[in-house]
């Protein structure tokens, strides 16, 4: 048979992530490629989920999501950021942020519409833009003298025009770790107002910022609430990435667009987990802060180790990731190096190039995850140091 996959999805067939995972397993490598923690979330959260399942919360929850979770999400957003949402019309529970992002793009982007986003870009964005028949217009984030990635406002202004329907803003940003400042978001807000563009945010790392960097939801900027669909989820916040429970928040019309599509994609998300999360959002706030502090220390630990192994490590202010420049080690192709590393060093990482349209911008960068136990990070550093010892 000829390739049965629809043409618009063919560029998304075999991902480097699958290849890297396979290689890591074959070579018994320390896997710092995949962005999930190797320790569990808070005990009370996990016990509550088990309890609700045993207690019979096992049928379809309401289409919008459990009211307990919608109310908890709205109250949390109001308390932390002063953003008020009606839990009955402006908050909607999805199967992870991934489903919210997909339904948001499918429900709001017409074929031929342009979607501006920042590269390196989280891999699901390009795929769902393609599903919608949209056209992606990446703006490249580049490291400044301090190693922090940011964008050139003129490049953003040049990318946005009459065909632009949406801008996707991921802050804190995977994979660079950049937490967008109020000033940077102000540039985005001005461009959106000028061209009447919808903003879709991905804030799944909203709690995981370091060195006191403040997470600013784009919807809090003047004039932005009415054009912004804000998306977050529980996986990264509570170290339960398998739970796939997220939410979209925004003006009722935008949320309705997401819901109209999503009722035919996943319909609802797991009700028992929703009940457990509703309580944990307030009850486990201290756990989340402790986790954030632990991750900051892990970032420092891995960054120092990578530096001593010879990498040039960029500045990460949040998320699970650091970007490392491989050129000081004498390499210039991250895909080649990432393919070789499991065999030569026994460590797996992700070549950042696959997250860029501009291949040259990402060629020399490799992403490492630090959301792992200290002994795992230390083992990875030992192996890399030995592999690159002069």
Q: Using CB under 6 A as the criterion, which residues of the chain lie in contact with ligand PLP when the complex forms?
A: 35, 96-98, 122, 170, 174, 202, 204, 233, 235-236, 241, 244, 246
Smaller CB distance to ligand PLP: residue 311 or 321?
Answer: 321
Bridge-based pairing of strands 164-170 and 114-119 is: parallel
Smaller CB distance to ligand PLP: residue 69 or 381?
Answer: 69
Structure tokens at 70: 């919608």
**What is the smallest separation between the CB atom of 325 and ligand PLP, expressed in angstroms?**
21
Smaller CB distance to ligand PLP: residue 122 or 149?
Answer: 122
Smaller CB distance to ligand PLP: residue 6 or 242?
Answer: 242
Smaller CB distance to ligand PLP: residue 170 or 345?
Answer: 170
**What is the smallest separation between the CB atom of 201 and ligand PLP, expressed in angstroms?**
10
Smaller CB distance to ligand PLP: residue 122 or 287?
Answer: 122
**What is the smallest separation between the CB atom of 37 and ligand PLP, expressed in angstroms?**
11
Structure tokens at 112: 């031929």
When CB distances to ligand PLP are compared, the closest residue is 96
**What is the smallest separation between the CB atom of 229 and ligand PLP, expressed in angstroms?**
14
274 CB-near residues (< 8 Å, 6+ apart): 61, 65, 66, 68, 69, 93, 245
**What is the smallest separation between the CB atom of 147 and ligand PLP, expressed in angstroms?**
20
**What is the smallest separation between the CB atom of 45 and ligand PLP, expressed in angstroms?**
15
Smaller CB distance to ligand PLP: residue 335 or 350?
Answer: 350
Smaller CB distance to ligand PLP: residue 128 or 204?
Answer: 204
Smaller CB distance to ligand PLP: residue 99 or 132?
Answer: 99
**What is the smallest separation between the CB atom of 101 and ligand PLP, expressed in angstroms?**
7
Structure tokens at 239: 């170290």
**What is the smallest separation between the CB atom of 22 and ligand PLP, expressed in angstroms?**
20
253 burial via Cβ count (<10 Å: 0-12, 13-18, 19+):
exposed
**What is the smallest separation between the CB atom of 99 and ligand PLP, expressed in angstroms?**
7
**What is the smallest separation between the CB atom of 382 and ligand PLP, expressed in angstroms?**
27
Q: Are 268 and 341 in contact (CB under 8 A)?
A: no
Smaller CB distance to ligand PLP: residue 106 or 345?
Answer: 106
């Amino acid at each position: 048979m000829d390739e049965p996959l629809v043409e618009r999805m063919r560029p998304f067939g075999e991902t480097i992530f699958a290849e890297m995972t396979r290689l890591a397993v074959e070579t018994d490598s320390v896997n710092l490629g995949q962005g999930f923690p190797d320790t569990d979330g808070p005990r009370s959260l996990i016990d509550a989920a088990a309890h609700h399942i045993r207690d019979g919360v096992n049928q379809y929850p309401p289409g919008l999501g459990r009211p307990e979770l919608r109310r908890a999400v709205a109250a949390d957003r109001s308390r932390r950021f002063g953003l008020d949402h009606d839990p009955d019309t402006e908050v909607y529970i999805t199967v992870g942020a991934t489903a919210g992002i997909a339904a948001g793009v499918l429900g709001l982007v017409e074929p031929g519409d342009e979607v501006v986003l920042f590269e390196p870009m989280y891999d699901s964005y390009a795929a769902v833009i393609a599903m919608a028949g949209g056209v992606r217009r990446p703006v490249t984030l580049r490291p400044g003298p301090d190693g922090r990635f940011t964008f050139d406002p003129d490049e953003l202004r040049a990318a946005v025009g009459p065909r632009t329907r949406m801008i996707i803003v991921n802050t804190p940003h995977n994979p660079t770790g950049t937490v967008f400042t109020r000033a940077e978001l102000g540039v985005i807000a001005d461009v959106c107002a000028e061209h009447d563009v919808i903003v879709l945010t991905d804030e799944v790392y909203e709690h995981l910022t370091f060195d006191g960097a403040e997470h600013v939801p784009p919807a809090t900027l003047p004039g932005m609430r009415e054009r912004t669909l804000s998306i977050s989820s529980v996986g990264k916040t509570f170290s339960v990435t398998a739970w796939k429970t997220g939410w979209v928040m925004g003006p009722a019309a935008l949320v309705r667009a997401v819901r109209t599509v999503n009722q035919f994609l996943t319909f609802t998300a797991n009700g028992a987990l929703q009940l457990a999360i509703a309580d944990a959002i307030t009850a486990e706030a201290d756990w989340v802060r402790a986790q954030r502090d632990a991750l900051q220390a892990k970032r420092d630990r891995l960054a120092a180790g990578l530096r001593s192994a010879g990498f040039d490590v960029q500045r990460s202010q949040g998320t699970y990731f650091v970007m490392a420049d491989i050129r000081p080690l004498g390499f210039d192709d991250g895909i080649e190096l990432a393919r070789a590393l499991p065999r030569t060093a026994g460590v797996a990482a992700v070549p950042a190039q696959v997250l860029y349209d501009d291949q040259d911008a990402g060629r020399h960068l490799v992403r490492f995850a630090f959301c792992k136990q200290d002994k795992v990070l230390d083992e990875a550093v030992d192996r890399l140091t030995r592999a690159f010892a002069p």
